[in-house]
Amino acid sequence: MSFCFMLTIATIAITLLYVVLIVLLIVGLVQPSAGHNQAFGQLAQPVSVVVAFRNEAPNLTRLLEALSRQTLDASKWELIMVDDGSTDGGDKIAQSFHNLPGLRLVKLQKGITGKKQALLFGVELARFNLVAITDADCVPVATWLNDISRRANGYALLQGCVLVERKPNLLSWFEALDYASLMAVSAGSFGLKRPVVAASANLVFRKDMINVRPETLRVDVASGDDMFLLHEVKKDHSNNMLFSTNLAGSVLTRFDGGFVGAIRRRRRWVSKAPAYTDIETILVGLIVLVFNLWLLVLPMICIFNLEAWNLLVGSLLVASLANFCLLFIYLKQTNQLKLMLVFLPLQLIYPIYLCTVAIAGFAGGQNWKGRAVSWKN
């Protein structure tokens, strides 16, 4: 067989595999059981909100002010703030909001560190069966608790919608669309009852269905509390999990640090992948990575074989059409269609971006909130 024939077969196979994956996610995204169509007539359940924080003083005021505006009756929720060794006075900011319903500010014991340990401590202290986790740099909408406390009724785990605060610059819009693509994959996979992505910025679960232990969150791995919790819940409750695209239960997160911060975030998200044991999550990650690597290899081949340009352009067009459909549906459901303005340029740079952070993510540790950590297990 000639080189051109083998190259053509390989390109078609890799592209087809990727497109089939995206089509399946689209099917999951439009399922009648998806969160945007979910009936909303349940009574509100009491909910414990757990927030782990370390050196988040600039963000805590925004978070706590947002929580003070919640429309859910004050008797039906509590707030547990777990300080993971902050050195910036964040604990004093939390104390100043002492009027918040059931506010408890606790600190990890000396010698115990890390977000996962803080979350475990907070969940252990939670008085209510329903537990909602969010991050210190997030801002929930006023109806957040009222929505999730009703919508989560009967589900083992609920993934709420997470939006990215957009600034008036191209990088911020790129990051917002990049994150929205992750949420689209999450929503689509939840719709298929085979969830592969979760975000701790807006995650709700029931303690009577999920035994959250150190092994559940993989405390031996520096990152990935949300993903490891998802994988554990999925073992027994894959048909009893929901992604809600309803904006009444959404939170807004903030990305800072410019280009370097963007790379570090993605690197951190990728870094825990070697510790995954969920086959579907691994398979989805491999398909996406291999496809984008192939898009980087093809231009190099084009230098020596001009016919390869047809394969590159064809592969890009077909995959971009599939990506466009997935993102358009999700962004319409979450009222973020303006992000499609940067869809085309992001498609062109995404293979370089993804492959760079993937390699960096597997390379080793970095400094995180004043601590030197290794992301390897």
The 10s digit of each residue's pLDDT in 261-317 is: 777 777 777 778 888 889 999 999 999 999 999 999 988 888 887 778 889 999 999
> 0.75 exceeded by the pTM?
yes
Domain match, 239 and 343 both: no
Same domain, 229 and 122: yes
Residue 375 lies inside a defined structural domain of this protein: no
Domain enclosing residue 360, as ranges: 3-27+279-368
Q: Are 108 and 85 within 8 A, CB to CB?
A: yes
Under 8 Å CB-to-CB from 110, ≥6 apart: which residues?
A: none
Q: Is 71 found in the same domain as 89?
A: yes
Q: What are phi and psi of 239, to 5 degrees?
A: -90, 5
**Pairing status of strand 162-164 against strand 251-253:** parallel
Give tens-digit pLDDT for 93-137.
999 998 888 899 999 988 788 898 999 999 999 999 999 999 999
Please check whether residues 270 and 345 belong to one and the same domain: no
> Pick from 230, 202, 57, 52: which is nearest to 124 by CA?
52
**Tokens found for residue 227:** 């993903």
Tokens of 342: 């940067």
**23 and 80 together in one domain:** no
pLDDT at 71 > cutoff 60: yes
Under the banding of pLDDT at 50, 70 and 90, the label for residue 37 is very low
Beta bridge partners of 157: 205, 241
pLDDT over threshold 70, residue 60: yes
Q: Give the span between the Cα atoms of 207 and 181, in whole angstroms.
A: 30
* 103 and 121 fall within a common domain: yes
373 belongs to a structural domain = no
The size of the chain, in residues, is 377
| Residue 112 and residue 179 in one domain | yes
Overall domain count for the chain:
2
- Cβ atoms within 10 Å of 202's Cβ, excluding its own: 28
Of the candidates 156, 215, 163, the residue with the CA atom closest to the CA atom of residue 190? 156
How would you class 2 by CB atoms within 10 Å of its CB: exposed for 0-12, middle for 13-18, buried for 19 or more? exposed
